[in-house]
Amino acid sequence: MPAVTRKRVTAIEKKQRHEWAMRQIDAGMGLSELTALTAETWGCSRRNARDVVCAAHKDWLDAAYGSEEIDQKDLLFQQVGRLERIARKAENTGQFSAAVGAITALNRMMALGADQKGFRGCRTHPRRY
């Protein structure tokens, strides 16, 4: 049985993958799409790609929420764009529960749920004005 040899990833290549993944996240790519693209682009396993994306996402969030120079409105609109893309993709593939979940999250983010005029609230509770 021949020995299976694996190509070791150098520290430089690891850093390049990480920075590339952060740029993709910053451009608005979804995490599952990015995992698949990372595995395909860098020729690594899906598990390794998931680790790269997870670390890049964590660092991206730290940079985004810990920095004063990054516009929070811009981040909000990036997240809204992602949720819209998820809802569209889920609806097109027939995954309606995922579409409903994305739309629900979108409504929460944009405060379009309970604060709308026509919202009646829970039917078991009396209406409060």
Enumerate residues 6+ apart whose C-beta is below 8 A from 37. 24, 29
Please report whether residue 48 resides in a domain: yes
| Run means of pLDDT, 10 residues per run, the chain, 129 residues | 63 92 85 91 92 91 70 71 87 90 82 44 47
47 lies in the same domain as 82: no
State the pLDDT at residue 5. 54
Q: What is the pLDDT of residue 53?
A: 93
Domain that holds residue 95: 71-118
Note whether 64 and 85 are same-domain residues: no
45 belongs to a structural domain:
yes
Q: Are residues 52 and 103 in the same domain?
A: no
**Helices vs strands, H then E, count in the chain:** 5, 0
Please state the domain count of the chain.
2
Judge whether 129 lies within some domain.
Answer: no
Of the candidates 37, 33, 41, the one whose C-alpha atom is nearest the C-alpha of residue 89 is 33
Same domain, 47 and 94: no
Q: Which pLDDT score, from 0 to 100, does residue 70 have?
A: 60
Are 103 and 60 members of one domain?
no
